[in-house]
Amino acid sequence: MADHISVTQISNYIGQDIVLKGWLYNRTDKGKLAFLLVRDGTGFVQCVAFKGDLTPELFDTITHLPQESSIIITGSVREDKRAPGIPGGFEVGIKDLQVVQSADLDYPMALKDHGVDFALDHRHLWIRMQSQWAILRVRATVMAATREWLDNNGFIAMDTPIITPAAAEGTTTLFETEYFDEGKAYLAQTGQLYNEANIFAFGKVYCFGPTFRAEKSKTRRHLTEFWMLEPEIAFCDLDGLMEVEEQLISHIAARVLRDRSAELKFLGRDLSKLENIKAPFPRMSYDDAAKYLIELYEKETDPEKKDLLKFEWGMDFGAPHETELTKLYDKPVFVYGYPSAVKAFYMEPWPGRPEVCKSVDLLAPEGYGEICGGSERMSSHENLLARIHKEGLPEEAFQWYLDLRKYGSVPHSGFGMGTERVTTWMCGTEHVREAIAFPRTIKRVYP
């Protein structure tokens, strides 16, 4: 038997003595009573020290214990609906407390509001705070649910390289490095092209790893290092792809609701919004979306708003456009059939409309916007080669990729899902930087 229990197990120990190992998150002293909010990594629980139950020395130690001290508590569990904590509703009556380390008194992340730059400079400590802890727990569940659904639905996990010889999503956002005598190499922006090779060996695959974008975007949706899931499927067209996406996203939402409702409640998330996330999701063509946005633009009378909403067919959506489209539904919405000019080189042209491609973005509701981007891939060798030439891409670097269209080419499709964007949306928080433990943005590589 373990020598201690975790906060998540506490409901099984009502009326029993237990040992908890953790850290002092907060303390309120009320005369003969001290209320300790203790965290152990799995949750937060209220522990109560009553002077009459303890030696005077121990009660004195407890009432002088600095925030973040590491401690081992022995006590008895009782149910108390009012007791704070995550999940809350339980209280531990302290019988003994051992101090493992009494924390220095100058803890920088005292429990008050800190400016975001200060908090980010102290990210190594900030992640201990309830809100950040809750978001990162949701992230872990998003990732676990993602793998679970794919593994249970016939997908093979493949790891694609991080160090790559050429751009795959446009050349402007590459991190470059010298690679011995081979010249320049780049950090992967996507594993997609390698997964396109993988499907011809394994049928349905996914990679799930860090990707890198040297984008100068300073928005609340952009990181320079983020974790992308990328499924890729042989014998799959655009409709088949949308079905995979909506099944996966619905599964993630259901798992997060099942396993992380305490964290979401702490974050103030309206759970009914997540309960709506059930397949099928609405589908809208780019043409219809463009028509709607142009009407909105024309109707808008506020000059400032009008400027942001400016739209004409052929443009990519900006954040304000995505926000308007997501307002139409209480579920994520697929927008498909974008102009080829605003999308990557590898997308299959729309039959009979070469200016449009078989691409699809999934936009999350409540203004969260793009969470997945994908397409059917160009399957003809001739068309792909022509496109590579047209884009001025180095043909030699894509020789292996072109080979895939020579030896058993099939219609195939795939998409990428941004872990941090999905997590931010699930949590109802503002900025993707809080959805990863140590965010990398254009202004930040520390800590």
Partner from Mg ion, ligand 4AD, none contacting 174, C-beta within 5 to 8 A by type:
none
Distance CA(391)–CA(343), nearest Å, equals 12
Question: Min. distance of Cβ 95 from ligand 4AD in angstroms?
Answer: 48
86 vs 417 by CB, closer to Mg ion: 417
Question: Min. distance of Cβ 354 from ligand 4AD in angstroms?
Answer: 20
CA distance readout (Å), 87 to 93, 259, 307, 336: 17, 11, 46, 41
Partner from Mg ion, ligand 4AD, none contacting 43, C-beta within 5 to 8 A by type:
none
Question: Min. distance of Cβ 264 from Mg ion in angstroms?
Answer: 27
362-391 residues near Mg ion, rule: CB under 5 A: 373
Partner from Mg ion, ligand 4AD, none contacting 356, C-beta within 5 to 8 A by type:
none
Partner from Mg ion, ligand 4AD, none contacting 196, C-beta within 5 to 8 A by type:
none
The residue behind tokens 């130690």 is 61
350 vs 425 by CB, closer to ligand 4AD: 425
43 vs 191 by CB, closer to Mg ion: 191
Question: Min. distance of Cβ 328 from ligand 4AD in angstroms?
Answer: 19
170 torsion bin: left (phi>0), alpha (psi -120 to 50), beta (else): left
Partner from Mg ion, ligand 4AD, none contacting 226, C-beta within 5 to 8 A by type:
ligand 4AD
Question: Min. distance of Cβ 209 from ligand 4AD in angstroms?
Answer: 12
91 vs 322 by CB, closer to Mg ion: 322
3-state SS class at 22: strand
- What is the DSSP annotation of 86-110? EEEEEEEEEEEEEEEE---TT-TT-
25 vs 338 by CB, closer to ligand 4AD: 338
Question: Min. distance of Cβ 370 from Mg ion in angstroms?
Answer: 6
Question: Min. distance of Cβ 343 from Mg ion in angstroms?
Answer: 8
48 vs 335 by CB, closer to ligand 4AD: 335
HSE (CB half, 13 Å, CA atoms) of 44?
22
Query: Could you tell me which of 21, 38, 25 has the C-alpha nearest to residue 91?
Result: 38
Question: Min. distance of Cβ 426 from Mg ion in angstroms?
Answer: 19
Partner from Mg ion, ligand 4AD, none contacting 169, C-beta within 5 to 8 A by type:
ligand 4AD
25 vs 368 by CB, closer to Mg ion: 368
Partner from Mg ion, ligand 4AD, none contacting 192, C-beta within 5 to 8 A by type:
ligand 4AD
The residue behind tokens 């990398």 is 440
By residue count, the chain amounts to 447
Question: 3-state secondary structure string, 241-309?
Answer: HHHHHHHHHHHHHHHHHHHCHHHHHHCCCCHHHHHCCCCCCCEEEHHHHHHHHHHHHHHCCCHHHHHHH
Question: Min. distance of Cβ 309 from ligand 4AD in angstroms?
Answer: 22
Is 186 in contact with 175 (CB distance < 8 Å)? yes
Binding mask 75-114 toward Mg ion (x if CB under 5 A, else -) reads: ----------------------------------------
3-state SS class at 146: helix
Distance CA(185)–CA(187), nearest Å, equals 7
Burial class (CB in 10 A: 0-12, 13-18, 19+), 447: exposed
Classify strands 333-336 and 283-285 as parallel, antiparallel or unpaired. Answer: parallel
Number of residues that bind Mg ion (CB under 5 A): 1
Q: Which phi and psi (to 5°) does residue 108 adopt?
A: -70, -25
Give the pair of three-digit tokens for residue 45: 């629980």
54 vs 371 by CB, closer to ligand 4AD: 371
109 vs 364 by CB, closer to Mg ion: 364
**Which residues bind to ligand 4AD, rule: CB under 6 A?**
169, 190, 192, 213, 215, 222-223, 226, 228, 230, 370-374, 414-418, 420-421, 432
Using CB under 5 A as the criterion, which residues of the chain lie in contact with Mg ion when the complex forms? 373
